[in-house]
Structure 1
């Protein structure tokens, strides 16, 4: 009986880990989709996003997703840091988006950012 209970506990734990991993991937893909709203600016440097534009509205949504907990902010930071290599060599444009949109994400989009702080 003891080994059956242990097996059930392991199955439940593995199911929970799988569910958390799937949710995290969905959230990061959602953040990536929001950033893609700013594709023209990131790729070509124009038009500059301004508050109220679809790009800045997407940045505001990123702000909401990264709040209110430290763990949410860390996750958002790690997700956005992974985009730096995707948009390289236009990572500088990606880094300037929050400033153009007058939004603070609570971290800088920079390859040297430590998301664990």
Structure 2
């Protein structure tokens, strides 16, 4: 009996995963966790422990993932909160990533940016 229940639960989980994979995406904004996963490769560059390396790939993918105004505002707010704890040297490096990676974003990476004005 327990084996049958496990099999049924596995079937339900597989079915749920399949449904979720083909369901249309919702308009939810990007989470800060998602933003951080995109820019994690930038950490060595920003902290001065490595080259810019794959940072540009992650930053470019993040820009492409931020399709809506809500997404861009979420990304802005997340980057703003992450950079608050940076020293001036680290902050300057983070601020320069769009330029170095040749990525055009509609706001400045700064703790003083008003993310509600990002479109």
Q: TM-score range by the shorter chain?
A: 0.5 to 0.7
Which ranges in structure 1 are unaligned for 5 or more consecutive residues? 1-22
Number of residue pairs matched by the alignment = 89
Specify every segment of 5 or more residues in structure 2 that has no aligned partner in the other structure, as ranges: 1-27
CA–CA distance in structure 2, aligned partners of residues 98 and 112 of structure 1: 17
Q: Give the 4+ runs in structure 1 shifted more than 6 A.
A: none
In the alignment, the residues of structure 2 paired with residue 34 and residue 103 of structure 1 have an alpha-carbon distance, to the nearest angstrom, of 14
Contact 1:66–1:105 (8 Å) recurs in 2: no
Q: Which residue does 2:73 correspond to in 1?
A: 74
Q: Which residue of 2 aligns with 1:39?
A: 43
8 Å Cα contact 2:31-2:74 kept in structure 1: no
* RMSD (Å), alpha carbons: 2.0
> Scaled by the length of structure 2, what TM-score is found?
0.65
Select which of 22, 26, 31 maps to 1:27.
31
Larger radius of gyration: 2
For 1:62 and 1:107, the matched residues in 2 are separated by 14
1:86-97 counterparts in 2 under 5 A? 86-89=85-88, 90-97=90-97
